[in-house]
Amino acid sequence: MDNLQFIREFDSAHTEDLVNIYHAVGWLNHKYDNVKVIFETSTHVVIVKYDNKIVGFARALSDSHFNAVIYDVVVAPAFQGKGIASQMVELLLNDFQHLSCIHLISTTGNAAFYSKLGFKKLKTGMAIYHKSDLEAEYTE
């Protein structure tokens, strides 16, 4: 897809557009103030613009030596299926190629997408969810 611009730094001016995309994909708990904080505190950010409009984003946290975790790979519905998510994840994977481990929790139904990018299911992965609906969705 031509005219894609990949921005690697968060600017608070992007916050409203990011919230709108979260809401467009059904992540309605993502409000302006928390989205601003989670992007400000992420160590790695990818924001994608098409014709100067934000159409996707991903973020990650890393200790810069051993581990990283990728969060929130999100693409606006009208731009899904065009390879944008793959490109964002590949940029993050390139950032983390020197690390021993990169974690990611897939949203329901998207595990096959991440498998194609090299992610494997964990034998020992565990989590604590404080919201019962998330616990029901993501744990065994």
CATH number at residue 33: 3.40.630.30
Q: Which pLDDT does position 33 carry in this prediction?
A: 97
Q: How many CB atoms lie within 10 A of CB 109?
A: 7
pTM of the entire predicted model:
0.93
Query: Alpha helices, DSSP H only, in the chain?
Result: 15-24, 32-40, 84-95, 111-116, 132-138
Domain that includes residue 127, residue range: 4-138
pLDDT (mean) for 67-96: 97
Answer yes or no: is pLDDT of 4 > 80.
yes
Average pLDDT over the chain, rounded to an integer: 96
**Per-residue confidence at 2, pLDDT binned at 50, 70, 90?**
confident
pLDDT (mean) for 69-91: 97
Q: Which of 32, 50, 71, 114 is catalytic?
A: 114
114 is catalytic: yes
Answer yes or no: is pLDDT of 75 > 80.
yes
Measure Cα distances from 83 to 69, 104, 116 in Å: 21, 18, 12
Q: How many CB atoms lie within 10 A of CB 123?
A: 5
Q: Total structural domains in the chain?
A: 1
